[in-house]
A and B are shown apart, each in its own frame.
Chain A
Amino acid sequence: MTQSIDLRRRGLLRASGVSVLSASTVALLAGSEKMAVAQPSNTANDVGILNTALALENEAISAYQLGATSGLLQKPVLEVAVLFQTHHKEHRDALIATIRKLGGTPAAARSDAEVAQALNASALKSQTDVLRLAQRLEKGAANAYIGVIPSFGDRPLAQVSARLAADEAMHWTVLTQVLKDPLPAKALSFGA
C-alpha cells in the first residue's frame, strides 16, 4: 500500500513538471503548499533569502571539503566532519528544490579554491585550526538562520529556517565539545 502511494505521488510530481523531491525536501516543504499561491513580492524576497542560505551552505560544504582533504583531521574527527558536510549537502539540495518550486533560480556555488582563499585556508596548520574555523562558521550559520526568520513572508519557511539553525547549533555544540571549550554559561547564547 505504501509503495503504491509513493508511486502515485511520484507520477503526480512528474506530470506537473516538478522533479522528484528527496525525503529531506519533502520534509522541508511539509505543510508549505500555500507557498504556491504566495504573494509575488513576498515570494521574490523569500527566494532571495533562500539563495543567500544556499550560498552559506555551499561555503560550508567547501570548508568541510578543504578540512577533509587537508590531511590535518584524524579519525574519528574526520568522520564527523564528513558527516556534517553531508548534512550541509542535504540542506543545499533541499534549498535548491525549494527555490525552484518557488519559481526562482538557484545561485551557482563558488569553487573550493575561491572559498579557500576567502577563508584564508592556507593558514590552517593543525586539526585544531580546522575545527576552530568550522566552529566559527557553524555558529555564524546558526545565527544567520535565526536572524532572517523575521524576514520571511511565508511563515512555514521561517520554521524551516529555525530547523536549519538547529542543525548548525548541533554541529557547533559537537565541535565545541571536541575542542574542549566551555559551554555557554548563560542561556540564549545563539542569536545574541
Chain B
Amino acid sequence: MAVALALAVAADAAAADAAHGQELYESRCGGCHSLDANRVGPAHRGVYGRKAGSAPNFNYSPAVKNSNVVWGERTLDAWLTNPQALIPGQRMNFRVATAEDRADITAYLRQQSGK
C-alpha cells in the first residue's frame, strides 16, 4: 500500500507542471506566503527538502516546530491535502482539493528551492 502510494506520488511529480504551479502559488498561496519574506506564513524559497518549522525568524506553532516532517513530494501532498491530518495542532489549515494542483504547486516549490 505504502509502495503504491509512493509510486503514485512519484508519477504525479514527474508529470507536474511547475509553470502552472507558479500561477497557483501566486493566486492561492500568495495571500499568506512569499518566496523570500516571512508574512502570515513562512518564506518558501528552499522549503523543498527542508525540515518543517525551520525557516529562519518565523514564529511557528509548537506542533510544526516539533514535528519530524521534511518537505518533499509526499509530505507536501499530504500537507496540502489536509494540514491538520499531517501535523495536528498546526495553524495553516488551507487545503488544495485536487492532486494535480498539489503536484504542480510542489513542482514549483521544488524548482524555487533549486532541487
Contacts and interface: CB of A to CB of B under 8 A. Distances in A.
Contacts of A191: 28
Interface string A120-160: 10000000000000001101111110011011000000000
Interface in B88-115: 89-97
B30 A140 contact: yes
A65 to B, nearest CB: 16
Contacts of B37: 117-120
A112 to B, nearest CB: 14
Nearest to A150: B95
26 contacts: A48-B89, A52-B40, A52-B92, A59-B40, A117-B37, A118-B39, A119-B37, A136-B30, A137-B31, A139-B31, A140-B26, A140-B27, A140-B28, A140-B29, A140-B30, A142-B31, A144-B28, A147-B94, A147-B95, A147-B96, A148-B93, A150-B95, A151-B82, A151-B83, A151-B84, A151-B94
B34 interface: yes
A144 B94 contact: yes
Contact of B28 (A45, A48, A49, A147): A147
Contacts of A118: 34, 37-39
A95 interface: no
A59 B33 CA distance: 12
Interface residues of B, number: 25
Is chain A's binding surface mostly helix, strand, loop or mixed? Answer: helix
A43 interface: no
A21 to B, nearest CB: 25
Contacts of A45: 84, 93
B61 interface: yes
Q: How large is the interface on A (under 10, 10 to 19, 20 to 34, 35 or more residues)?
A: 20 to 34
Nearest to B31: A140
A44 B91 CA distance: 10
B61 to A, nearest CB: 7
A79 B29 CA distance: 28
A52 B90 CA distance: 11
Interface string B56-72: 00000100000000000
B95 A141 contact: no
Nearest to A191: B28
Contact of B94 (A117, A137, A142, A148): A148
B92 to A, nearest CB: 7
A59 B39 contact: yes
Interface string A48-84: 1101100110010000000000000000000000000
Contacts of B31: 56, 137, 139-144
